[in-house]
Homo-oligomer: A and B are copies of this chain.
Amino acid sequence: MAVVPLLGDGDAAPEAVAVFDEIRARRGTDYVNNFWRALAHDPVELRDVWDSIDRVMADGALDPLTKELIYIAVSTAHGCSYCVHSHTAGARAKGLTPDMHRELLAVIALASRTNALATSLGVPVDERFDVSDR
């Protein structure tokens, strides 16, 4: 399924193919996954997303693997199956071990459980957690 064609190199605009080429070069593979081929229907958004990933997912105060774990957590909570699959693959490419994966999923599951409890109880935020005027 998809609501737009998945564009191959022969169908995409030159600006989109340029991004495909950067993806291939960065990853050292010929394969460009479906997300990018679908997003290529909008070369401007494609370029902006790719550049944002470059900026945001780079090594910094947090390392790239930790960032992939956060990505998987968000994708799970949003119910984005595509993103869970692609970023779990991406995390493995960056060093995710089975033990890390197990712990990641256990934390996501626990957070989902206590999120539901806090919301169904209507718990008011403690004053001490507010730092808006510090």
Interface residues of A (CB under 8 A from B): 1-6, 31, 33-35, 38-39, 41-42, 44-45, 48-49, 52-53, 55-57, 60-62, 66-67, 69-89, 97-126, 128-134
Q: Which chain B residues lie closer than 8 Å to A75 at the CB level?
A: 111, 115
Closest Cβ–Cβ distance, residue A122 to chain B (whole Å) = 5
Closest Cβ–Cβ distance, residue A47 to chain B (whole Å) = 11
9 pairs of A and B residues whose beta carbons are closest in the complex: A77-B77, A2-B132, A79-B79, A61-B99, A74-B111, A112-B116, A85-B129, A73-B73, A113-B113
- Per DSSP, are chain A's interface residues mostly helix, strand or loop, or mixed? helix
Complex Cα gap A95–B128 (Å):
18
Closest to A125 in B: B85
Q: Do the beta carbons of B98 and A5 come within 8 Å of each other? A: no
Oligomeric state, in copies: 6
Q: A42-B106, A60-B99 are in contact. List 15 more A-B contacts (CB 8 A).
A: A1-B125, A34-B126, A62-B100, A71-B107, A73-B73, A74-B111, A75-B111, A76-B120, A77-B78, A80-B118, A81-B125, A82-B124, A85-B129, A105-B120, A109-B116
Q: Do the beta carbons of A110 and B1 come within 8 Å of each other? A: no
Q: Which chain B residues lie closer than 8 Å to A131 at the CB level?
A: 2-5
